[in-house]
């Protein structure tokens, strides 16, 4: 099925995407009211955005601190190209890893972890250390989280 991205991301499509990023559990009736469509119209537009792969899923935001994981850190890892596949395998086995990106710059991978203590972070670092050079930063607080990326004209 072919979709015209620009048509789907007109002003209403962008507003729908923005509203769903704010609250993915909003009813189609409320969504329609906010963007100027009927409930059925909003549902149809959402379905089209999903079918086009613009909306890829719906997720719950979890407070890791309330799960007993109060420390969030970022680990930059520089690895030789011949062992990069080992990094993917290693992080997939580590439940503490919340995100991992293959990146440009001095770090080949940027890994975000949520841990219960500094000693727990040290365990993670020790597991990753054989894979390459590490650079770890602990997050103190969040200045901006989950910014909506849909540009509004």
Residues 80 and 126 in one domain: yes
pLDDT reported for residue 147: 67
The sign of the CA dihedral 23, 10, 147, 78 is positive
57 within a domain of the structure (yes/no):
no
64 within a domain of the structure (yes/no):
no
Residues 132 and 90 in one domain: yes
Q: Report the CATH number at residue 132.
A: 3.30.70.920
Residues 97, 111 contacting (CB under 8 angstroms): yes
Report the candidate in 110, 108, 64 with the shortest Cα–Cα distance to residue 83.
108
One digit per residue, the tens of pLDDT, for the chain of length 153 reads 556 777 888 999 999 999 999 899 999 999 999 999 999 999 999 999 999 999 999 988 889 999 999 999 999 999 988 888 899 999 999 999 999 999 998 889 999 999 999 999 999 999 999 999 999 999 999 898 776 676 655
pTM of the model: 0.80
Q: Report the CATH number at residue 25.
A: 1.10.10
Domain count, the chain: 2
Residues 99 and 44 in one domain: no
pLDDT reported for residue 2: 56
pLDDT reported for residue 152: 58
pLDDT reported for residue 43: 97
pLDDT reported for residue 151: 64
Q: Which residue range(s) make up the domain with 134?
A: 71-138
Beta bridge partners of 74: 112, 137
144 within a domain of the structure (yes/no):
no
Residues 134 and 76 in one domain: yes
First to last CA, the chain: 27
């Amino acid at each position: 099925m072919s979709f015209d991205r620009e048509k789907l991301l007109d002003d209403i499509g962008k507003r729908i995407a923005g509203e769903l990023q704010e609250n993915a559990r909003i009813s189609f009736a409320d969504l329609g009211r906010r963007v100027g469509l009927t409930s059925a119209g909003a549902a149809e537009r959402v379905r089209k955005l999903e079918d086009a792969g613009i909306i890829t899923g719906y997720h719950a935001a979890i407070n890791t601190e309330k799960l007993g994981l109060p420390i969030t850190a970022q680990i930059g890892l520089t690895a030789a190209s011949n062992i990069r596949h080992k990094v993917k395998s290693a992080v997939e086995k580590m439940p503490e890893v919340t995100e991992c990106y293959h990146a440009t710059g001095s770090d080949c991978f940027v890994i975000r972890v949520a841990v219960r203590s500094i000693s727990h972070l040290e365990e993670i670092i020790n597991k990753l250390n054989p894979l390459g050079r590490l650079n770890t930063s602990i997050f103190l607080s969040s200045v901006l989280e989950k910014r909506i990326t849909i540009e509004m004209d």
